[in-house]
Amino acid sequence: MNSAEMLLAMDRCPRAAFWGEKWEAPAVHPNEVLRRAVDAGLLTEEEDPGQLAGDMVMTYAAERTLDIEGSQYTCAVHTAALADIVVTALVSSLRDVRFWTTSQDRAF
């Protein structure tokens, strides 16, 4: 929940803001799954970060459902392949992925 949604929920009911902060929808959009998998692939120290990204997509699709109409499996396989390709291309073009950090790691 972003800060704008939090403020709207707080205006509506303080309990809604509190409980909404930790709540996640049971279904995740494939774009969000792809973003999370690419982030994980770029931040990992694994030997094959593309494989990790693809596996993460399939894990999300198995543990939670994708927010689509149609074949969940087909969408998961295509999104996993896309995550693998994107991470592999970025890592091979950059060679050193240690500068990829999360926003919490950056000192301002």
Please count the other Cβ atoms lying within 10 Å of the Cβ belonging to residue 81.
13
Q: CA 100, CA 8: separation in Å to the nearest integer?
A: 33
Give pLDDT tens digits for 36-80. Answer: 999 999 999 888 999 999 999 999 999 988 889 989 999 999 999
Residue 44 lies in a domain: yes
Task: Print the domain residue range for 58.
Answer: 27-94
Residue 8 lies in a domain: no
Residue 101 lies in a domain: no
Residue 39 lies in a domain: yes
Domain count, the chain: 1
Instruction: Give me the residue label for tokens 């998998």.
Output: 37
Residue 10 lies in a domain: no
Taking 80 as the threshold, does the pLDDT of residue 107 lie above it? no
Taking CA atoms, 18 is separated from 9, 10, 11, 34, 85, in Å, by 9, 8, 12, 28, 39
Residue 61 lies in a domain: yes
Taking CA atoms, 50 is separated from 4, 68, 93, in Å, by 34, 24, 13
Residue 20 lies in a domain: no
pTM value? 0.68
